[in-house]
Structure 1
Amino acid sequence: MSININITKRERTRRLKSGAVVVHTRYVLNFRDPRTGGRKQLFFERLKDAQRKAAEISAAVTTGTYAPERKAPTVADAVQSWLKDREGNVKERTLRGYRHVARYITDPLLIGTTKERAAYTVTGELPKGTRVEPLLGQVKIMELSTAQIRAWHKLLTQEVGAFTANRAKLYLAAALTLAAEDHHVRPPAMPANLGRGRVKEKKAILTPEQVSQLIAAGRDDAEKGIYYAFPFLMGTRPSEQLALLWEDVDFDKNVVRIRRMQEMDGSITNLTKTVAGTREIPIGPILREMLLEWRIRCPRKGNELYRVFPGLGQRQAWPKPRIGGGGPLLYANFRNRMWAPALKRLGLPPVTPHSARHCFISTLQAQGIEVGLVAKLAGHSNAVVTLGHYTQAVRGGESAIAALEQAFA
């Protein structure tokens, strides 16, 4: 018995963020499996590795000892490997979100209403008039095509919405990339121009002038001012702010270290939302002054400083101090007792605490800070997230036209 094997060379160019172009070369071993007759491709970084493997296969076929390669991984295998790889790198709440969306890649989808899908998930019984449509889970990666991915994405968009479909596509791409590294298989190209569905509305944010007003009020508010001024000066997520400990504030190096998050129940997780979320943010003069003053008044845990933003405890009749403070401050209490009253008192729009992060990022961009540095301070893994989801205009169109005319003058 003989076998026909040929080796082809493939080159792909890739443009880096710096503008440099790199060429990625791979050598592809092409042959038909003598047992199954199916077309096989194996990928190698070096030519000599491809030649060595071709010689091994030829010798095995000649001597009759050839055995097919181990079971080809499926899309479900790739997704499970990716989820396992994420364990320990992201907080458990984020991982649960990954697992939930991953079901729309691997598990069969009930074609019906949202309520019917929920009932099917709980009971396992198929509601009358519905059907179950298989998705990509059992498809082998080597047999997966771009057309299949496009059809799958279209089905998800129709049945569960564009947002979920796009998240699932993002996770599928990550899982296939990891599978390519681990199993030396070449996944198909992800389809382009799928459309983004309904355009997500930009979060309302305060103008720089309104933020200046809020921070000025915060500097005069010795009890609660630091709570609502801090996120505008640091760009933190509410869960990062409420989890901050005094040991994370380094006045010698003049930085705040973000390395944990607070859960909904007030407990602290020693992980950030993503790996990039662990970061250091410089402290500006205004915030440094506010933090130093707040450190004197901040409620203790016992007799020791612990949380930077603890619960304030119960108010007593003047001039007695509050009692019972120093414990966790839940997000709902922060928003209802500190954030919203401050905005209302100053006559400012009722924006959300998370909008302070949008304002921080957008204002830095408007001030000409390069997007790579803004992404680093915000805890984004790359600038695409910063530009695509957080950056929005904080100045009027007049300033843009003035800059244009100055350039052309």
Structure 2
Amino acid sequence: MGKVRARKETGKLYLDFFFHGVRCREQTALHDTPANRKKVECLLQRIEAKILLDEFDYAEFFPGSGNLKKVQQARATVDETSEVESLSTSVTLAEFSSQWFSEMQVEWRKSHTRNVQSIIDNSLKPLLGAKRIKVISKADLLQFRSSLANRKGRGANIKLSPKTINSHMAILKMVMDEAADRYGFESPYRNIKPLKLKKSHIEPFSLKEVDRIISQVREDYRNYYIVRFYTGLRTGEIDGLKWQCVDFERQEILVRETLIQGETEYTKTDGSQREVPMLGPVCEALKEQYMATKGRSSYVFCNRQGEPLDHNNVTKRVWYPLLRRLGLNKRRPYQTRHTAATLFLASGENPEWVARVLGHSSTDMLFKVYSRYIPNATRMDGSAFEKLVNTAISQAKEPVHEKE
């Protein structure tokens, strides 16, 4: 509610009111008399009525006022706030997730971009896309997770794994958190913990099994599996390996790219950028491979057309049939990497060196994943303690000879 006041210095009336949160004082030329005060109060009532109806034009009433600039800035702020509030109450998750994706993909690798796009298009939009993002509740998010848990996975009777569900929920959390920050509401994604993952167990091959595989595999894939078993390269790293990254002079493989869905791109992490030594038969295998493919492809291992290998095709047509023929348990090709790690460590190599060769940022992964296969190298089988105790016991049993 505004007031009509009189200045002590001049005795003239002025209006004192608020507009868009700004206190406005507008001077008149009228002296403080009952008649003049009534005129000014009528003016103030007209102003407040127009403000109430959102029809008040400040410049129309006070064209030369020094308050015009402040009022215009305040109006712009109000309009912007109103626009954000209006948008936040009408925008759907489908609309905002598309906007968020377009803004964020510049930060991601191509493979990650494809994964996020797939999650948004195949899960977020079908299940939550029509909902207005500001009214999505925690219950909606938990229902979304339950729907994922009941969805079939790759196999006809297999449900989505907890790891896959967690990856979907992680994208949803990022979308909701960004929307909450942008539109000024509290994200409903709170106290929702990731699903517990089952501990995965590795199944590396023994050195004897490695020899059997390499001796029995198809001739055109023998060099490929020699390099896999004795370097520990990831599938994408060996399939994307190019001759420009093979340094015969220093006997090193320079890991700089990885192959994902037929395209090479930057490695999984910065730590994956590394130099892998050509140990054991690796150097000779690569020299043989050089004679076979150098003239027809930039890739070290390629198909007849000179294109990089399709790992799914190789796995189904070469790897699994070979394991069946040899009577070995069915294992993913990635177990060649685990095999290299266990062989490195079991031979007594320094764990820090092994971590660098494999592209790990620290030795934590080695001791967490591989310790049960390398008790002598890690001394984590109790043998040191047993030796100490047995020595102490045997010494205690020795007869004590008194001095004469």
- Shorter chain as denominator, the TM-score bin is 0.5 to 0.7
Q: Is the 8 A contact 2:241 2:300 kept in 1?
A: yes
Aligned partner of 2:311 in structure 1 is 331
**1:76 counterpart = 2:94:** yes
How far apart in 2 are the matches of 1:394 and 1:296? 38
Q: Write the distance in 2 (CA, Å) between the matches of 1:372 and 1:172.
A: 37
Residue 290 of structure 1 aligns with an amino acid whose one-letter code is E
Distance in 1, Cα, partners of 2:191 & 2:291: 56
Q: Secondary structure at the match of 2:274?
A: strand
Distance 1:174 1:63 in 2: 28
Equivalent residues in 2 for 1:79-228, closer than 5 Å: 79-84=97-102, 85-86=104-105, 89-91=108-110, 95-103=113-121, 105-109=123-127, 135=128, 138-140=131-133, 144-158=136-150, 161=159, 163=161, 164-176=164-176, 187-193=187-193, 195-196=195-196, 199=198, 202=200, 205-210=203-208, 213=211, 217=215, 224-228=221-225
After superposition, the Cα gap between the structure-2 partners of 1:299 and 1:178, relative to the gap in structure 1 and judged at 3 Å, is same
C-alpha separation in 2, matches of 1:196 and 1:295:
44
The alpha-carbon deviation at position 245 of structure 1 amounts to 1.6
SS at match of 2:82: coil
1:81–1:175: 8 Å Cα contact kept in structure 2? no
The residue type equivalent to 2:385 in the other structure is E
> Deviation digits for residues 185-207 of structure 1, max 9, x if unmatched?
7645543445448x48x465224
Q: 1:272 to 1:61 in 2, by over 3 A?
A: closer
Unaligned runs of 5+ in 2: 1-17, 22-51, 53-69, 153-158, 390-404
Q: What CA deviation, in whole Å up to 9, does each residue of 1:214-259 have, x standing for no partner?
A: 68759x9985432112223343343442232211223456232241
- Residue 213 of structure 1 and its aligned partner are, at CA, apart by 3.3
1:284 CA drift (Å): 3.8
Root-mean-square deviation (Å) = 5.2
Q: Does 1:306 align with 2:298?
A: yes
Report the secondary structure of 2:359's partner residue.
helix
Query: Are 2:226 and 2:285, in contact at CA under 8 Å, matched by a contact in 1?
Result: no
Distance 1:76 1:348, change over 3 A: same
Residue 277 of structure 2 is matched in structure 1 by: 283
CA distance in 1, matches of 2:76, 2:101: 41
Amino acid at match of 1:395: Y
> 1:240·1:262 contact (CA, 8 Å) conserved in 2?
no
Go from structure 1 to structure 2 and tell me whether the alpha carbon gap of 1:370 and 1:171 turns closer, same or farther (over 3 Å shift): farther
Give CA deviations for 1:245-296 in whole Å, capped at 9, x if unaligned.
2112234562322414164xxxx41325756596334224326523553245
Normalised to the residue count of structure 2, the TM-score between the two structures is 0.55
Paired residue for 2:264? 270
Distance, in Å, in 1 between the alignment partners of 2:180 and 2:354 is: 28
TM-score, with structure 1 as normaliser? 0.54
Letter in 2 for 1:351: R
Distance in 2 (alpha carbons) for counterparts of 1:170 and 1:64: 34
Identity rate, percent? 18
- Determine the structure 1 residue equivalent to 2:253: 255
CA-to-aligned-CA distance 1:79-119 (integer Å, 9 cap, x gap)? 32443323683336x5444333224653344xxxxxxxxxx
> Gaps spanning 5+ residues in structure 1: where?
5-34, 36-55, 110-134, 314-324
For residues 108 and 231 of structure 2, the distance between their equivalents in structure 1, rounded to whole angstroms, comes to 23
Greater RCO (CA < 8 Å, at least 6 residues apart): 1
What's the CA shift for 1:169?
A: 0.4
Offset at 1:183?
6.9
Superposition deviation, residue 356 in structure 1: 1.9
